[in-house]
Structure 1
Amino acid sequence: MLITITRSGGFAGLEKTRALDTSDRADAAELEELAQRAVAPVADGYHYRITVDDEVLDLQDPCLTDDQRTLIRTVLDEGA
């Protein structure tokens, strides 16, 4: 299994992408199980796409910050 992760943002706005092939690793089964659980949708969880001008962010429950929850709740309750 090939697992690729890209991290971006932070103070310096740097992007870092790394890939890991699990095929020859002793911990392959554990990493593959973690990967499968990480990408599996949350049962009955909501997915959100927040667009601010030209920036797009895709999110899903339960992985939201308090600020994201407040923004989502306000826009869904009061937006047109």
Structure 2
Amino acid sequence: MLITVTRTGGFAGGERTASLDTECRGDRLQLERLAERALSGESPVGQVPVPDGFSYVIRVDSKLVELQDPYLTEDQRQLIDTVLAAAA
């Protein structure tokens, strides 16, 4: 499973993209379950972005979800943090 996170916005207005391939990871099953929960979680529609907040696009294989701070579920936040940290 290929998981890609793109984060934009924030105070500096920059963009950061990171990808994680679960295929060769020891925690593969946990990450894939987390990704499934993150994509199936609530994604509030029509929420107004907060000043200097981040916007996210999470792509898991061919599925895509667009999210904004602070309107993230715990699973979405954990997946974002894991993917961005793995690419650092």
- CA RMSD of superposed structures (Å): 2.9
Question: Percent sequence identity over matched residues?
Answer: 49
Structure 1 residue 41 displacement after superposition: 4.5
Matched residues, number: 55
Amino acid corresponding to residue 47 of structure 1 in structure 2: V
TM superposition outliers: structure 1 runs of 4+ over 6 Å: none
Q: Which has the higher contact order (CA 8 A, sep 6+)?
A: 2
* SS class of match (1:37): helix
Amino acid corresponding to residue 36 of structure 1 in structure 2: E
Report the Cα distance in structure 2 between the residues aligned to 1:30 and 1:6, rounded to whole angstroms.
21
Max radius of gyration: which structure?
1
* SS class of match (2:46): strand
**Which residue matches 1:47?**
45
**Which residue matches 1:16?**
16
Q: How does 1:62-77 map to 2 (within 5 A)?
A: 63=71
Report the Cα distance in structure 2 between the residues aligned to 1:27 and 1:20, rounded to whole angstroms.
12
